[in-house]
Amino acid sequence: MDVTNIEVSSVEVLPAKSGNVVKPNTSPQVTPELVEEVIRQYYYRTPAVSNDEELILAWAGSQNREQTKRKYYRFGQKLLLWVRNEGIPDFRLIQQPKLLEFVASWGEVSPYTKTNQILMLRSLWSYGSGENVGYFLRNIASTINYDNFSELPKAERYLEDWEMAKLAQAAQQLGGKHWLIFCLLFYSGMRVGEVGRVTVPGDEPGKPKEDYPGLYWHNFKWQPDPTPEDRQRGYYTIKFRGKGGKYREIGLDHETSKLLKKYRGMASDKMPVFPNESPDPKKRGLPLSDRAIKRLIQDISEVAKIEFSCHWLRHSHATRAVEIKPLFEVQDQLGQRKSDTTKGYVRSKKDAGTGTVLPRF
């Protein structure tokens, strides 16, 4: 082969490009843990609710009891109205000093009411800052202080005889429904939500749903119990829808029954025991709501200058009744499933102790 006849063309040598250089893979290896963290961060940074109104609905709806749902919803609406009046368009723009201003706006309320509302405020921010909601970046309400009345034993939520006498005097002074409701709550041991009408937020704004109907006269049945001295003597039994939607029947003492029978007059079974006299035609004629009953009790509290609630009357009933009646009868009257719950309501007497009944040796 004659190599002298081979034609060789010029060759262009290109510079090396850094982009084409093969680099080692330094990115983290995809693992189930990494995927889980990416998903968590995505959902945490994507709020489950888009505005304040949705947050309130979701927060209230997360509660177990219908009555608690309604209570939380109403508190949320109260906060929303105040915030909007302050010119703040979004809860997420609020700083803690503004929350403290909201607390101060409640004015003179009982320590128990203030504590309950602060706990609801803390609960709302805790719920909104949780990972499954992600509406708030942090919980600014967690450091707002409150009086921890929940640590007070149930048995200590009790009214002494002198307090009961003063409250009874105030209720009689106010007269009308104040005295009747005070007597019914104390002498029956009923819950306020069993005496009053209870509603919960409905599917449409401004249209609540009825959860508990309240008391009508058809719930009351007169039981004759004459004596030689009083042929008209008797008492009422009351059959009503109690806690958990279960119906139960209790007896009412003779004196309170006589008081209510006189108050009833000629009212028919279809009439509510405590009718609402509101100017609102949607409410007028219905049984008085549990909120309205609490306001009547608050009136008595203010006149007597003694802090108490409807439930304190229930505890005070249990402590006195168990001194005479067997525990299981008191448990049945209060509508409690477990005797331990009833025992928790009863306050032990502070006296010289059980040694006073022992023989001396």
DSSP 285-338: TSBPBHHHHHHHHHHHHHHHT----HHHHHHHHHHHHTTTS-HHHHHHHHT-S-
CA distance 123 to 141: 8
Q: Which domains does the chain have, with CATH numbers?
A: 52-151 (1.10.150.130), 154-345 (1.10.443.10)
**DSSP category for residue 356:** G
Q: Which of 179, 177, 160 shows the shortest CA–CA distance to 169?
A: 179
pTM across the whole model: 0.62
Residue pLDDT tens, the chain, 361 long: 555 565 655 656 666 555 555 566 666 677 777 766 666 665 555 677 889 999 999 999 888 877 788 889 989 999 999 999 999 999 999 999 999 999 999 887 767 778 888 999 999 999 999 888 888 988 999 888 876 655 545 545 778 899 999 999 999 999 889 999 999 999 999 999 899 988 776 666 666 677 788 999 999 999 999 888 888 899 999 999 887 778 899 999 999 999 999 999 999 999 999 999 888 888 888 999 998 999 999 999 999 999 888 989 998 998 888 888 888 898 889 888 887 777 777 766 656 666 766 676 6
- Which tokens is 37 given? 């963290």
Q: Are 253 and 235 in contact (CB under 8 A)?
A: yes
